[in-house]
Structure 1
Amino acid sequence: MNMLPLIRTGLILILTSILVACSGSEETAQARPDPVHFESGDECHVCGMAITRFPGPKGQAISGEESQVRKFCSTRDMFSWAMQPENINRDYTLYVHDMAQTDWEHPDDTALIDAREAWFVVGSERTGAMGPTLASFAAQSDAETFAGQYGGEVVPFDGITMEHLSFGAAM
């Protein structure tokens, strides 16, 4: 009995299982990037203002393809950039400060959260670098508490529109 075909089949099965196992690790290698700290010399990608000199939540966009980090002095500027036609379909990760975990006047970068999972308060009396801003929270209940104290409307990430960014418009 010739064992060569049986050995060949066994080797093919082993190689196939190795390839399948390796393809699973590719997903891990493409995991979203970690947020980066805001440094004192950082300038807003939209308006050029010094980011750390102003109160309120900040934002950042990290591109998947080139790992380029764009930093924003406010969540409003981050959304303004992200909602532009040339950026809307880009592969990027967005981060914002969880304002329930940090001080409004000096947001701590250890409180950065995934913006796509965050809740935002639009139209509150609290201001950021460019005046009115969107207060960001990891938990809907924290956003509702903030809105109860400072006013505004609680909106999930995918509910934010360009109209929300023009604070004089009806919401």
Structure 2
Amino acid sequence: MKSVRLKFLPALLMFTVFLAGCSGESEKVAEKPAPVHIESGDDCHVCGMTITRFAGPKGEVITEKEQTVHKFCSTRDMFAWVLQPENVMRKHTLYVHDMSQTEWASPDDTALIDAREAFYVVGSERKGAMGQTLASFSTEAAAQDFMMEYGGEVLQHDGITLEHLNTAMPKGDMH
């Protein structure tokens, strides 16, 4: 009996090593890709406008599977794309500018933050590339301060819907 157990010991050890290797692979979490700087010639993925020609916060989406970078001239256009039925269930990495850390007229890409953790002011009087835009901030306090000065409503990422984009952005208000 002892010789039978020893005979299968190498196979058992190999199987154990194999299982340990497999479990390690499933536990690995993919690193979030870093934001990509918006260059002067980049066009908006939704409307085709040159992104850097307009004020206000911009957006960026990096698709998980393809690692394709989509850049947007406004947070409004980014949400309009992300909230489409064919995109809403897909996994993406999303970035927006933290407007408490950069100038409205020309946002600096060093101020890009995770869009899912940001706070947004919807319906303010500040204009972006597509008219009214969603002003993005890393803290709720900064968003509240902005709202007190420029109006609107503070929402988090998961609270923004296509209805917010359509009702808060009157037609004919685009630049």
Give TM-score scaled by structure 2 length. 0.87
Aligned to 1:9: 12
The offset of 1:70, in angstroms, is 0.9
Percent of aligned pairs sharing the same letter: 56
RMSD: 1.7
1:154 maps to 2:157 = no
1:32 maps to 2:68 = no
1:75 maps to 2:78 = no
2: CA distance between counterparts of 1:149 and 1:106?
Answer: 20
Aligned to 1:100: 100
- Secondary structure at the aligned position of 1:67 is classed as coil
Counting matched residue pairs gives: 166
The offset of 1:132, in angstroms, is 0.7
The offset of 1:7, in angstroms, is 3.9
Q: Structure 2 regions of 5+ residues with no counterpart?
A: 171-175
Q: Structure 1 regions of 5+ residues with no counterpart?
A: none
- Written as runs of structure 1 = structure 2, the 5 A alignment for 1:1-171 is 1-2=2-3, 3-25=6-28, 27=29, 30-166=30-166, 167=168
1: CA distance between counterparts of 2:108 and 2:123?
Answer: 23
2: CA distance between counterparts of 1:93 and 1:81?
Answer: 13
> What letter corresponds to residue 75 of structure 1 in structure 2?
T
1: CA distance between counterparts of 2:18 and 2:112?
Answer: 42
Give TM-score scaled by structure 1 length. 0.89
2: CA distance between counterparts of 1:75 and 1:168?
Answer: 12
Spell out, residue by residue over 1:106-157, the C-alpha distance to the aligned partner (whole angstroms, 9 max, x if none): 1111111111111100111111111110000111111111111111110111
1: CA distance between counterparts of 2:111 and 2:31?
Answer: 20
